[in-house]
Amino acid sequence: MKLYPLQFQPLFKYRLWGGEQLKTELGKEYSETNIGESWEISDVDTNETKVLNGDLKDFTLKQLIKKYKGDFLGQSVYDTFGENFPLLIKFIDAKTPLSVQVHPSNEIAKIRHNSFGKNEMWFVMQAEKNAELIVGFEEKITPSQFETHLKHDTILNVLHKETVQKGDTFYIPTGRVHAIGGGVMLAEIQQTSNITYRIYDYNRVDKTTGQQRELHTEQAKDVLDFTVHKNYKTDYKKKVNTSNKLIHSSYFKSNFLKIEGTLVKDYTKLDSFVIYMCVDGHVKINWKDKIYLLKKGETILLPASIKNISLSSTSCELLEVYL
């Protein structure tokens, strides 16, 4: 069986802060309530997404890598990661705020959890008026001051808050304190990791357990980066029919791609798979005279062996992701 553009069956995750917009705005199909996350492409243990379309239907990422190796991942990616897919791709709907949290680095995550770290990025798809994100610290504090703020329930006073709108983009490196606020729906690109250290959770009780969620303040202490930055938001261009640089890190690269008309893409010089996340509108992907439709809230993966495609749309916005 030859490789082709692959779509996966999302995994829907209950979150006490989840809303209904993944269903109402993105057309996801599920019957549960409080679904906060749609895991679009995942290789997290016991949470592997499966191919939805074509001859490779029901294959997991690990099975695809095992069968196709560098043809699927890109040879350099395969040489680095072996049979582990390096990225986790999500859509997130926060009806109420997420916990204030931080993620460990590759080094700490490897030692403590035998896992990758969790460097990630957010692309805001929708935001209610005055909706906010927490990203980093507003003022310089010491670890002991941090503990005092936690003790006195005043930690929110020293965190940097950003009012956001559609298109706002943030890079969240490991060590940076952060939280998605209520009324925000976004696309998230991250390393394959499910390691989160909760620092503060508004003293909420989870209705499914009747308990407050576990905090990880001790683990978070030596992970936190207390550096204060002047600017946390990523500036980028929005030139039509061009891959506009968003976040380029050593963990993943992402571009903003607005399609109007037809755009031919040549990936001959790229030794990596490519993922498209559709964050607005819809697009036709033409490969070998076969059409793949992608609409807002959907994701598709182009194996590394696919080098030439064309994209056609009256108006569409994509996130283009690769290593």
Q: What is the CATH number of the domain that holds 66?
A: 2.60.120.10
pLDDT in tens, 287-317: 999 999 999 999 999 999 999 999 999 999 9
Radius of gyration of the chain (CA): 20
Supply the DSSP string of 126-182, one letter for each residue: EE-TT-EEEEEESS---HHHHHHHHHTT-GGGGEEEEE--TT-EEEE-TT--EEEPT
Q: Are 32 and 173 members of one domain?
A: yes
Instruction: State the pLDDT confidence band at 116, using cuts at 50, 70 and 90.
Output: confident
Domain count along the chain: 2
Q: Residue 222, SS3?
A: coil
Residue numbers of the domain that contains 215: 8-221
Q: Are 183 and 217 members of one domain?
A: yes
pLDDT in tens, 118-142: 999 999 999 999 999 999 999 999 9
pLDDT in tens, 18-47: 999 999 999 999 999 999 999 999 999 999
**Amino acid at site 228:** V
For residue 222, the model assigns a pLDDT of 87
Is 95 within 8 Å of 17 (Cβ atoms)? Answer: yes
Residue 19 lies in a domain: yes
Is 274 within 8 Å of 267 (Cβ atoms)? Answer: yes
Residue with tokens 């992701």: 321
Q: In sequence order, which residues have a C-beta less than 8 Å from that of residue 41 and are 6 or more positions away?
A: 8, 49, 61, 85, 87, 88, 89, 275, 299, 301
Most confidently predicted of 106-110, 125-129, 220-224: 125-129
* Cα 187 from Cα 21, distance rounded (Å): 13
Q: Are 135 and 272 members of one domain?
A: no
**Mean pLDDT taken over the chain:** 96
